[in-house]
């Protein structure tokens, strides 16, 4: 099938390359010209496991193209995915100006029937506005449908998630739209992946409700972890004990420094606002946010309890990305930790296998902040090592070497990557254990 994708950001680029890889002919339109030039050469401006390989393969085989020309993109196909940003505005609501702008542009270039699909995360009933906007600005009467098809991709494993979805959710209002989606997603339904077909409002709501539920699950276990510390119980045992109940499930019960990233913090905030706009107070989610903030504070308090005075201490930090397998540092806990320790006058040696370039934009190298290309180099003469992201390479670290390099063998682990019973050589602290 022919597919247009508007926006070559995170969601757009994964959507475009994966649909191309499934054998579709994809045109992806992006307004940032420099990114289009790079993408045309097979260079991705975002880091995502496996993306470069599949991008290059599909460019070579002629199934994907990139352009800045919106008119060409709209006229190219019947199916148009909107994958533009919906960032948080100052009041916590989603800023929908890019969705509105794109809707007006689509309206201008309509040339026959179009199925316009929201993939960006939007508040419930945004499809009504998209529909109204296109109808208002369309220069000729053309038939079109607006549908919702939210994404459930985790950064770092987005291609895997796209190709192996737990479920595909689409919200449609016409038989025609339904039939197009059934055909588009046939490679998945043939393999037994469920396709849930509902109306657009329900699909929009499912996205916010899913992310908020997962954030709530993390905050729940983090609150349990705070209690575990008080009563001397290992939170991992508790998580296992709860998670083995199929009704709860084991996933997303890893206690630690809390959630970050471009999705959970923003989506929980937006969902609270959506409820508020409808006269409902979503106290459960407000508490979710509160616990998440408390967890970062608790990690910093722990450092102070252990180190007493942070000033002039050499502190090594392993992990800056908000989670492993990404270079993304948006809402990363490491930002709060480094900011506070720098203000305390600590000397910080930072290491992350992917996120250092992004981190340098916020914390340039300075007298107190140094970056290292090797995780062990960052440990030289350290008084403590903080672990903030659970990269596999940290789990596999040579602990003998770690101990030899450090001035004091103190590890404060915000992600519980080691077993306390294996850490006899160290003064080892973790979360909720
Ligand atoms: C999340 C959702 O998992 C995706 O389904 C969704 O599509 C995406 O948001 C989105 O809305 O675009 P993502 O933000 O990439 O994906 O990352 P997750 O793997 O969900 O992790 C989010 C945060 O929660 C990370 O900071 C992670 O460290 C933290 N986390 C996760 C925990 O602290 N404990 C856990 O048990 C799991």
Paired with 385 in beta bridges are 316, 411
Average pLDDT across the chain, whole number: 97
Q: Which of 386, 215, 203 is nearest to 286 (CA)?
A: 215
pLDDT digits (tens, 9 = 90+) for 335-378: 999 999 999 999 999 999 999 999 999 999 999 999 999 999 99
- Ligand 1 centroid–CA 68 distance in Å is 31
| Closest residue CA from atom 17 of ligand 1 | 154
User: How do the domains of the chain map onto residue ranges?
Assistant: 2-198, 290-429
Q: Which of 164, 162, 133 is nearest to 149 (CA)?
A: 162
Query: Are the beta carbons of 371 and 356 closer than 8 angstroms?
Result: yes
Indicate if ligand 1 lies below 6 Å from the C-beta of 144.
no
| Closest residue CA from atom 37 of ligand 1 | 252
- Asked if residue 70 has pLDDT above 90, the reply is yes
- The predicted model gives 407-433 an average pLDDT of 97
Residue that wins the pLDDT comparison between 142 and 108: 108
Q: What is the pLDDT of residue 180?
A: 98
Q: What is the pLDDT of residue 141?
A: 81
- Asked if residue 133 has pLDDT above 90, the reply is yes
Indicate if ligand 1 lies below 6 Å from the C-beta of 413.
no
- Asked if residue 418 has pLDDT above 80, the reply is yes
For residue 308, name the pLDDT band (cuts at 50, 70, 90).
very high
Rg (CA), the chain: 24
Q: What is the pLDDT of residue 295?
A: 96
Residue that wins the pLDDT comparison between 48 and 191: 191
- Ligand 1 centroid–CA 264 distance in Å is 7
Indicate if ligand 1 lies below 6 Å from the C-beta of 326.
no
DSSP per residue over 295-348, as a string? HHHHHHHHHHHHHS--TT-EEEEE--SSSTT----TT-HHHHHHHHHHHHT-EE
The architecture that CATH gives domain 290-429 is 3-Layer(aba) Sandwich (3.40)
Q: Determine the CATH number of domain 2-198.
A: 3.40.50.720
- The predicted model gives 264-279 an average pLDDT of 96
pLDDT digits (tens, 9 = 90+) for 179-214: 999 999 999 999 999 999 999 999 999 999 999 999
Percent of the chain with pLDDT over 90: 96
Q: Which of 93, 71, 78 is nearest to 24 (CA)?
A: 78
Q: What is the pLDDT of residue 139?
A: 81
For residue 76, name the pLDDT band (cuts at 50, 70, 90).
very high
263 is catalytic: yes
Q: What is the pLDDT of residue 345?
A: 98
Percent of the chain with pLDDT over 70: 100
Q: What is the pLDDT of residue 46?
A: 87
DSSP per residue over 102-168, as a string? HHHHHHHH--S-EEEEE-S---TTHHHHHHHHHHHH-SS---EEEEE----PPTTSHHHHHHS-S-E
- The predicted model gives 274-302 an average pLDDT of 97
- Asked if residue 47 has pLDDT above 90, the reply is no
- Ligand 1 centroid–CA 154 distance in Å is 6
For residue 398, name the pLDDT band (cuts at 50, 70, 90).
very high
- Asked if residue 140 has pLDDT above 80, the reply is no
In which element (H, E) is residue 6 found? Answer: strand 2-6
Domains 2-198 and 290-429 share a fold: yes
For residue 289, name the pLDDT band (cuts at 50, 70, 90).
very high
- Asked if residue 237 has pLDDT above 80, the reply is yes
């Amino acid at each position: 099938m022919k597919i247009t994708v508007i926006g070559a950001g995170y969601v757009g680029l994964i959507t475009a390359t994966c649909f191309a890889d499934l054998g579709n002919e994809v045109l992806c339109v992006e307004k940032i010209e420099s990114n289009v030039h790079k993408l045309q050469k097979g260079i991705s401006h975002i880091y995502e496991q496996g993306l470069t390989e599949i991008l290059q393969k599909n460019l070579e085989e002629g199934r994907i193209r990139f352009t800045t020309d919106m008119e060409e993109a709209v006229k190219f196909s019947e199916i148009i995915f909107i994958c533009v940003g919906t960032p948080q505005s100052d009041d916590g609501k989603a800023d929908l100006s890019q969705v509105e702008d794109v809707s007006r542009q689509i309206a201008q270039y309509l040339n026959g029937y179009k199925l316009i699909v929201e993939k960006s995360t939007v508040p419930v009933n945004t499809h009504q506005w998209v529909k109204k906007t296109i109808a208002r600005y369309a220069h000729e009467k053309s038939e079109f449908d607006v549908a919702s098809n939210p994404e459930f991709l985790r950064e770092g494993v987005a291609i895997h998630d796209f190709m192996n979805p737990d479920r595909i959710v689409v919200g449609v209002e016409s038989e025609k739209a339904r039939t197009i989606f059934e055909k588009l997603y046939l490679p998945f339904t043939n393999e037994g992946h469920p396709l849930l077909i509902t109306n657009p409002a329900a699909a929009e709501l499912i996205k916010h409700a899913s992310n908020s539920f997962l954030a709530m699950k993390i905050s729940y276990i983090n609150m349990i972890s705070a209690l575990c510390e008080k009563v001397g119980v290992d939170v991992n045992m508790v998580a296992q004990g709860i998670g083995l109940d199929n009704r709860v499930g084991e996933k997303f019960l890893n206690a630690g420094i809390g959630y970050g990233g471009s999705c959970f913090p923003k989506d929980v905030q937006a969902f609270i606002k959506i409820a508020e706009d409808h006269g409902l107070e979503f106290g459960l989610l407000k508490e979710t946010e509160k616990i998440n903030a408390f967890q970062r504070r608790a990690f910093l308090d722990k450092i102070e309890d252990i180190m007493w005075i942070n000033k002039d201490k050499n502190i090594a930090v392993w992990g800056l990305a908000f989670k492993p397998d990404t270079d993304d540092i948006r809402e990363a806990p490491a930002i709060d930790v480094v900011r506070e320790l720098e203000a305390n006058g600590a000397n910080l040696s930072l290491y992350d296998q992917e996120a250092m370039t992004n981190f340098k934009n916020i914390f340039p190298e300075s007298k107190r902040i140094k970056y290292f290309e090797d995780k062990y180099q960052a440990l030289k003469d350290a008084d403590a090592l903080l672990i903030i992201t659970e990269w596999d390479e940290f789990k596999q670290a040579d602990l003998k070497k770690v101990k030899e390099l450090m001035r004091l063998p103190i590890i404060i682990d915000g992600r519980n990557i080691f077993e306390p019973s294996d850490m006899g050589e160290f003064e080892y602290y973790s979360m909720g254990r």
